[in-house]
Amino acid sequence: MAGRTIVITGGFGALGRAVAEAARGARLALVDAAPKGPESSDALVLAGVDLSDAAQADRVAAHVAERFGGIDALINVAGTFRWETVAEGSAATWDLLYKVNVSTAVNMSRAALPHLLKSPAGRIVNVGANGALKAAAGMGAYAASKSGVHRLTEALAEETKGRITVNAVLPSILDTPANRADMPDADFATWVQPADLAAVILFLASEHARAITGALIPVKGGV
């Protein structure tokens, strides 16, 4: 990653932090909706950013490109999850998950594209979900929104073929403190470690992944 400029959305969360840690040596921009980010002497930290607003995404891309001289890779980690059945849930949940999981990736990808196309090895890596391949009960809104991320990945890969690569990782359950608190009786040994998923993401964001585009890559750990 040395010498490459990487934008990580959802950069303050467990996976975003794991990607940033693994990408040491790169020029990093960590973008998140949270009002306060980690202190860093190396990374550009952009807090309180709503990437579901296209104008804010445009400003982020312009700021990063001006600061670092371009953008080589965009990693769309930003996302959220809700479990509720269709019958007992609300329309607001569907709107929220589309906004956070799909719109952020669309807006940031569109904003970054002019800069990525100037890079000799432009990359977009999205975070989809293994649970979106076949939705379980209570997973309708989440699976539908992550399916949108999958289709975005495929479409954008076709639109930019031969110029940049666009891929997605499809993790199962990540081993994070929040997930352990929500599912205390689960077998944590079968879950995906954020560092392991970060390694796959960074391979796809590297110059070595030039032959891979439009791929939806399952990362399921011990499941």
Q: Which of 126, 175, 125, 119 is nearest to 146 (CA)?
A: 126
Q: Domain ranges for the chain, please list them.
A: 5-219
Cβ atoms within 10 Å of 109's Cβ, excluding its own: 22
Question: From its phi and psi, is residue 171 left (phi > 0), alpha (psi between -120 and 50) or beta?
Answer: beta
Question: What pLDDT score was predicted for residue 49?
Answer: 97
Q: Specify the DSSP element, H or E, that contains 31.
A: strand 27-31
- Percentage of the chain lying above the pLDDT 70 cut: 99
Query: Edge to edge, what strands does the sheet with 164-171 contain?
Result: 44-46, 27-31, 5-9, 73-76, 122-127, 164-171, 216-219
Q: What is the C-alpha separation between 181 and 163, in angstroms, rounded? A: 43
Span 53-98, pLDDT tens digits: 999 999 999 999 999 999 999 999 999 999 999 999 999 999 999 9
Q: Encoding tokens for residue 178?
A: 């929040």
Residue 147 contacts residue 189 (beta carbons within 8 Å):
no
Confidence (pTM)? 0.94
* pLDDT (mean) for 125-136: 95
Q: What mean pLDDT value characterizes the chain? A: 95
Q: Which CATH number fits domain 5-219: 3.90.1170.50, 3.30.1330.200, 3.40.50.720, 3.30.457.10?
A: 3.40.50.720
pLDDT at 41 over 80: no
Degrees, nearest 5: CA angle 159-2-28 = 70
Residues 143, 119: Cα–Cα separation, whole Å: 33
Range in 27-31, 44-48, 70-74, 176-180 the model is least confident about: 176-180
pLDDT tens figures, 174-183: 888 888 898 8
β-strand partners of 24: 26
β-bridge mates for residue 184, sequence order: none
Residue pair 169/197 in contact (Cβ under 8 Å)? The answer is yes
Would the pLDDT of 223 be above 70? no
Are 201 and 19 in contact by the 8 Å Cβ rule? The answer is: yes
